[in-house]
Amino acid sequence: MKVLVIGSGGREHCLVWEISKSKLVDKIYAIPGNAGMEKLAECLSMDISSSNFDDILKFVEDKKIDLTVVGPETPLVNGIVDNFKSRGFKIFGPDRKASMLEGSKVFTKELLQKYNIPTPDGIFFKKEDYEDAVYFLKKKGEDKFPVVIKADGLAAGKGVIIAENKEQAIEAVKDCFVRNKFGGSGDRIIIEDFLSGFEVSLLCLCDGSNITPMILAQDYKKIYEGDKGKNTGGMGSYSPVPLVNKGIYEKILSKIMHPAYNALIKEDIRYQGVLYGGLIIADNEPYLLEYNCRFGDPETQAILPRLKEDLVPLLIGCVDGSLGKKKLIWDTNKCVCVVIASNGYPESSSSGDIIEGLDSLNKSDDIDIFHAGTKKSNGNIVTNGGRVLGVVSKADSFKECRQKVYSAIENIKFNGKQYRRDIALRAEGMDQNEL
Ligand SMILES: Nc1ncnc2c1ncn2[C@@H]1O[C@H](COP(=O)(O)OP(=O)(O)O)[C@@H](O)[C@H]1O
Ligand SMILES: [Mg+2]
């Protein structure tokens, strides 16, 4: 089989790596890929951000690709799956309509409200209702803050603002409706109740009629230790999540993931691909914060290394609608991923710095390195953007995982490297919980 992976981040390197272990696969391509994937996949530079997929389709036709796997959300929301399917090519991911679950937070909130699925209460405003939104905030009691302002559409993880008080909330509404900070993505907003709790991600494989949960993971979005500073694309992740006990896990499935999937079927939306539930647990009750329509990054880097079966038949099962209700087989060990980012991230990112120390690590069985922002230059691997590498280790305990990952990171050197030292720290000593 020939497989094409679309995307260029750590998630896609991890997908390529997992797919390369499949007995079914002879050849992997990646568009555009990155320097780390080159040993496993032939990387081709093509634009994946536009909604014109002609070049990619021509490539798939010429090379007789058997399966395409889409990493990022933008091509999915732009309808890459519809384009492929109408030409008879197999592609893993939801179509344009189903991708609305990530592409429009208003669409998802309305669906959740209609079917009584637990989610923070929220109210919607359109751009033309700017004055109403400001009035709504002004008459809200100061004790009702923080509130959460969410731009409707895709915003590369920057469209959610937690406003501590009225002034901040009104500024956030102005960002969307007046300053057009998020373009068309900010033409509609949700003003949502703030919930305190801890977050967890549950990625599920879906074949159009059935939903198969993978394992829980937790990611770290803030740039600094102790969850301080700006939001990023993700600074680390770990799996499983011992903070979630069996009772909470059962509620996540029975109150949220299963009813929401049934609601999609009722609404005539055939969701095929990965459905990523971003959940918050407040007072032992789970609430859905958002859906993503693809594998999460960096969660994927802490999930797939624990999968004890061939990923490719699972992906094909989703595409063909034949996965059914499957129980996936997982390693019982723990997995930790720590992201190393470049200087200045997330405000800015430097590139072109030589990365040293990768070769010695690649020989070690205990560490896997997934590249994100890297490229080849004059025979060296150099940094190429914000998040540079994901360093991943599996072991019997979180403590051991952390020791291995952080000692590996000591050996990786480039100018201005930054990373969080507290990834999975809160899970240390909680190794007995299997979820
Ligand atoms: N209602 C809420 N209460 C508390 N925190 C929230 C709420 N909604 C979002 N957040 C925080 O903001 C982050 C981003 O929101 P999310 O809905 O996941 O959107 P996106 O990932 O598209 O930016 C969440 O991971 C969470 O930390
Ligand atoms: Mg999110």
The confidence score (pLDDT) of residue 363 equals 60
User: How much distance in Å is there from the Cα of 276 to the middle of ligand 2?
Assistant: 10
Our answer on whether the CB atom of 195 is closer than 6 Å to any ligand 1 atom is: yes
The SS3 of residue 16 is helix
The confidence score (pLDDT) of residue 283 equals 96
Q: Is the pLDDT of residue 365 over 90?
A: no
- Residues 229-256, mean pLDDT to the nearest whole number: 96
Report which ligand 1 atom has the smallest distance to the Cα of 192. 1
> pLDDT for 138-164, tens place per residue?
999 999 999 999 999 999 888 999 999
The Cα–Cα gap between 100 and 293 comes to 8
User: How much distance in Å is there from the Cα of 121 to the middle of ligand 2?
Assistant: 17
> pLDDT for 261-270, tens place per residue?
999 999 999 9
| Closest ligand to residue 148's CA | 1
| Closest ligand to residue 102's CA | 1
Q: Whose CA is nearest to atom 9 of ligand 1?
A: 289
> pLDDT for 211-235, tens place per residue?
999 999 999 999 999 999 998 999 9
With both helix axes pointing from N to C terminus, report the angle between 258-266 and 105-114 in degrees, rounded to the nearest 10: 100
The confidence score (pLDDT) of residue 50 equals 87
Percent of the chain residues topping a pLDDT of 70: 98
Our answer on whether the CB atom of 290 is closer than 6 Å to any ligand 1 atom is: yes
Confidence of residue 364 (pLDDT cuts 50, 70, 90): low
- Domain 121-193 classification at class level: alpha beta
The confidence score (pLDDT) of residue 186 equals 96
Q: Is the pLDDT of residue 111 over 80?
A: yes
Our answer on whether the CB atom of 289 is closer than 6 Å to any ligand 1 atom is: yes
Our answer on whether the CB atom of 194 is closer than 6 Å to any ligand 1 atom is: yes
Cα dist from 204 to 94, 163, 292, 350, whole Å: 12, 31, 11, 35
Candidates 3.40.50.2300, 3.40.50.12140, 3.40.630.30, 3.30.470.20; CATH matching 198-427: 3.30.470.20
> pLDDT for 42-51, tens place per residue?
999 999 988 8
Q: Tell me which CATH code domain 2-89 carries.
A: 3.40.50.20
Q: Whose CA is nearest to atom 13 of ligand 1?
A: 160
Contacts 24+ apart (CB under 8 A), 23-29: 23/310, 24/310, 24/312, 24/313, 25/1, 25/312, 26/1, 26/2, 27/1, 27/2, 27/3, 28/2, 28/3, 28/4, 29/2, 29/3, 29/4, 29/5, 29/59, 29/63, 29/65
User: What does 118-172 look like in DSSP terms, one character per residue?
Assistant: ----EEEEEGGGHHHHHHHHHTS-GGG--EEEEESS--TT--EEEESSHHHHHHH
Q: Which two tokens stand for residue 215?
A: 């394992």
As beta bridge partners, residue 30 has: 5, 43
User: How much distance in Å is there from the Cα of 370 to the middle of ligand 2?
Assistant: 21
The confidence score (pLDDT) of residue 432 equals 79
Our answer on whether the CB atom of 422 is closer than 6 Å to any ligand 1 atom is: no
Q: Is the pLDDT of residue 362 over 60?
A: no
- Residues 354-358, mean pLDDT to the nearest whole number: 94
Instruction: For 413-434, give one letter per residue: b (16+ CB within 10 A) or e.
Output: ebeebebbeebbbebeeebeee
The Cα–Cα gap between 285 and 352 comes to 46
Q: Whose CA is nearest to atom 23 of ligand 1?
A: 157
Report which ligand 1 atom has the smallest distance to the Cα of 159. 23
- Spatial contact of 57 and 45, defined as CB atoms under 8 Å apart: no
Q: Taking the domains of the chain in order of start, what are their residue ranges?
A: 2-89, 121-193, 198-427
**10 Å Cβ neighbour count for 194?**
15
- Spatial contact of 374 and 382, defined as CB atoms under 8 Å apart: yes
**Residue 336 DSSP symbol:** E
Q: Is the pLDDT of residue 131 over 80?
A: yes
Report which ligand 1 atom has the smallest distance to the Cα of 155. 22
Q: What is the dihedral of CA 269, 322, 81, 150, to 10 degrees?
A: 50
Q: Whose CA is nearest to atom 1 of ligand 1?
A: 194
Our answer on whether the CB atom of 324 is closer than 6 Å to any ligand 1 atom is: no
118 backbone φψ class: left, alpha, beta (φ>0; ψ -120 to 50): beta
User: How much distance in Å is there from the Cα of 398 to the middle of ligand 2?
Assistant: 24
- Alpha helix positions (H), 295-419: 299-303, 311-320, 358-362, 398-411
Q: Is the pLDDT of residue 361 over 80?
A: no
Our answer on whether the CB atom of 282 is closer than 6 Å to any ligand 1 atom is: no
The Cα–Cα gap between 372 and 14 comes to 10
Which among 57, 435, 410, 389 has a CA at the least distance from the CA of 218? 435
> pLDDT for 316-346, tens place per residue?
999 999 999 889 999 999 999 999 999 999 9
Percent of the chain residues topping a pLDDT of 90: 92
| Closest ligand to residue 222's CA | 1
Our answer on whether the CB atom of 192 is closer than 6 Å to any ligand 1 atom is: yes
pTM, to two decimals: 0.96
Our answer on whether the CB atom of 148 is closer than 6 Å to any ligand 1 atom is: yes
Report which ligand 1 atom has the smallest distance to the Cα of 196. 4
Q: Is the pLDDT of residue 41 over 80?
A: yes
Our answer on whether the CB atom of 199 is closer than 6 Å to any ligand 1 atom is: yes
Separation of CA 176 from chain center: 24
The confidence score (pLDDT) of residue 431 equals 81
Separation of CA 124 from chain center: 25
Average pLDDT, the chain: 95
352 backbone φψ class: left, alpha, beta (φ>0; ψ -120 to 50): left
What H or E segment, with its residue span, contains residue 92?
strand 91-92
Report which ligand 1 atom has the smallest distance to the Cα of 195. 3
User: How much distance in Å is there from the Cα of 68 to the middle of ligand 1?
Assistant: 30
Our answer on whether the CB atom of 120 is closer than 6 Å to any ligand 1 atom is: yes
> pLDDT for 378-403, tens place per residue?
999 999 989 999 999 999 999 999 99
- Spatial contact of 323 and 205, defined as CB atoms under 8 Å apart: yes
Q: Is the pLDDT of residue 435 over 80?
A: no
| Closest ligand to residue 121's CA | 1
User: How much distance in Å is there from the Cα of 406 to the middle of ligand 1?
Assistant: 28
Q: What is the Cβ-side half-sphere exposure of residue 300, based on CA atoms within 13 angstroms?
A: 26
User: How much distance in Å is there from the Cα of 201 to the middle of ligand 2?
Assistant: 9
